[in-house]
Chains A and B, each alone.
Chain A
């Protein structure tokens, strides 16, 4: 079954907007019940190495990550702004898509820096009428991470 391209664009638009608004529960709602979320430095991916910066190979781990962010972790006080490029359909069935992204970070005093750029490689699936993320690989070009990485990309 072919998924409407507009549906994919809507999902990505929601994805970025929810992260930028720090609406992490709603963001988790974009993932399928059985899901995977990993951020892998490009230097590892290109060499066939598996280690990621964030490596959640099931939904429970992803929810734990968000709980830790709220309850335990301390990080630079900032806001994120995701700029997600047009998705490209790799495999229609599924579907598998790729989309480039940039994330800018702005600190409390209004100074902005490009924090990260890279590529999303997402395996999506239709659950009823909703498109959900089953497997998201964040392929990180900016693998010399500025300061630290706390909020998801």
Chain B
């Protein structure tokens, strides 16, 4: 069934048909119109490829991509697919190289992605090989346009994509800039394969409502509660979102009363090692939770002093990987590195305040599959016009995500409320 703008039961994206998580044709359209479309994706860090020849493999949707630094220090990125027969050119995930050679027929590419050599191009003793008219310049690795914020490298395959700065908008640029205000170092990576549609995760990172309900650790150990000062801040077109909260901005009594309806513990157990949740203020603000979701699949995360970037990597309609890069600052004292390594316990596949997402997203995927025409309900913080909120019990940014999603897929209903 071809999906059209008639798919939306409401014009404000407060109802999302479950079909959108399960339909293979929709998934294919997403790959073309979103991931190859006019969006900017986080690819990796400048700090991951410090030296000439350093490269790393990444993805843009399902498209394999390599980014590297050439001999003059310039960063390039291209689709990791040989111009000859379509094989992966660079098989390793990271390393240092003078060029990229496809193992299949040894077509050779420079660090700028240009085709530099083809074996037996003139054949052997004048027989075989390529016609002399073959244009080497027309057969290169497909390049990405690149731009950076701090150490974060963003790329797009769309020539008509607006500039990165316009795509992100001022609040998002400010938050990513805040994370990268100092040079960073990578503390490690973690990965999680979730058997569900990637958009359930894109929604999850924009869903402020679930945080302290699903992730009971936040409340049980007093790390974060919805009674704290916080809210959601979006870009002008509501495709991105910042979920934020300030430390020590509520009282225990207020929280106890507010959570009296929820079936979760709120008696504040204490940890033997409270450093695990202790927030060490390191900037001129009191933000201890900032989750910045960039459409479609990049997330910049500060939870207390743990800093991370997540990439959502779709792997078919029913599976995605969350690839997370754990960060510290290059000039962190050893004690601060230890603190961040301990607080890394909070996030990732075994994260004390994140492991539940894997389960919640899988059970949502599983139960919605046989009900393509039923819909979710997205009304926390009100339906209607999409706008910022200065409170936390809200899922309005999910509607922002869907509004831009509908636009890119060409299924925006006439009279959409955005």
Interface residues of A (CB under 8 A from B): 39-41, 43-44, 47, 49-58, 60-61, 63-65, 67-68, 71-76, 143-150
Residue pair B193, A72 in contact (C-beta under 8 Å): no
Which single member of A40, A55, A73, A75 contacts B342 (CB below 8 Å)? Answer: A55
**Complex: how many Å from CA A119 to CA B191?**
18
Instruction: Answer whether A147 and B362 are a contact pair too, CB < 8 Å, given A41-B191, A51-B344.
Output: yes
Most chain B C-beta atoms within 10 Å of own C-beta, residue among A41, A57, A64, A67: A64
Asked if B120 is at the interface of the complex by the 8 Å CB criterion, the answer is: no
* Residues of chain B with a CB closer than 8 A to A41's CB: 188-191
Which single member of A50, A71, A150 contacts B350 (CB below 8 Å)? Answer: A150
Residue pair B220, A72 in contact (C-beta under 8 Å): yes
Asked if B416 is at the interface of the complex by the 8 Å CB criterion, the answer is: no
Residue pair B352, A72 in contact (C-beta under 8 Å): yes
Residue pair A149, B189 in contact (C-beta under 8 Å): no
* Residues of chain B with a CB closer than 8 A to A67's CB: 269, 271
18 CB contacts below 8 A, A to B, read: A40-B188, A49-B187, A51-B190, A54-B350, A58-B273, A61-B345, A64-B273, A71-B265, A71-B269, A72-B216, A73-B217, A143-B190, A143-B191, A144-B321, A145-B190, A147-B192, A148-B359, A149-B355
* Residues of chain B with a CB closer than 8 A to A68's CB: 217, 220-221, 352
Per the 8 Å Cβ criterion, residues 209-265 of B in contact with A are: 214, 216-217, 220-221, 265
- Number of B interface residues in the complex (CB < 8 A): 41
Per the 8 Å Cβ criterion, residues 304-356 of B in contact with A are: 321, 326, 337-338, 341-342, 344-345, 348-350, 352, 355-356
* Residues of chain A with a CB closer than 8 A to B352's CB: 65, 68, 72-73
Asked if B194 is at the interface of the complex by the 8 Å CB criterion, the answer is: yes
**Complex: how many Å from CA A47 to CA B187?**
10
**Complex: how many Å from CA A68 to CA B191?**
22
**Complex: how many Å from CA A71 to CA B220?**
8
Instruction: Answer whether A50 and B188 are a contact pair too, CB < 8 Å, given A65-B345, A73-B355.
Output: yes
Nearest neighbor of B360 in chain A, beta-carbon distance? A74
Asked if B392 is at the interface of the complex by the 8 Å CB criterion, the answer is: no
Nearest neighbor of B93 in chain A, beta-carbon distance? A43
CB distance from B364 to the nearest CB of A (A): 13
**Complex: how many Å from CA A145 to CA B193?**
6
CB distance from A15 to the nearest CB of B (A): 18
CB distance from B344 to the nearest CB of A (A): 5
Query: SS class of chain B's interface: helix, strand, loop or mixed?
Result: mixed
Asked if B276 is at the interface of the complex by the 8 Å CB criterion, the answer is: yes
CB distance from B271 to the nearest CB of A (A): 5
Per the 8 Å Cβ criterion, residues 255-293 of B in contact with A are: 265, 269, 271-273, 276
* Residues of chain A with a CB closer than 8 A to B344's CB: 51-52, 55
| Per-residue A-contact encoding for B358-396, CB less than 8 Å = 1, 0 else | 110010000000000000000000000000000000000
Residue pair B341, A50 in contact (C-beta under 8 Å): yes
Residue pair A43, B192 in contact (C-beta under 8 Å): no
Instruction: Answer whether A144 and B350 are a contact pair too, CB < 8 Å, given A49-B187, A64-B271.
Output: no
Instruction: Answer whether A147 and B342 are a contact pair too, CB < 8 Å, given A41-B190, A49-B187.
Output: no
Which single member of A51, A72, A144 contacts B217 (CB below 8 Å)? Answer: A72
**Complex: how many Å from CA A41 to CA B323?**
12
Beyond A64-B276, A72-B220, list 7 extra A-B contacts (CB 8 Å). A40-B188, A49-B186, A49-B187, A68-B221, A71-B269, A146-B193, A150-B350
**Complex: how many Å from CA A41 to CA B355?**
16
The 5 A-B pairs with the shortest beta carbon distances in the complex, nearest first, are: A51-B188, A148-B358, A60-B272, A145-B349, A149-B350
**Complex: how many Å from CA A54 to CA B192?**
14
Residue pair B345, A147 in contact (C-beta under 8 Å): no
**Complex: how many Å from CA A90 to CA B224?**
44
Residue pair A147, B216 in contact (C-beta under 8 Å): no
**Complex: how many Å from CA A60 to CA B272?**
6
* Residues of chain A with a CB closer than 8 A to B273's CB: 58, 60-61, 64
* Residues of chain A with a CB closer than 8 A to B272's CB: 60-61, 63-64
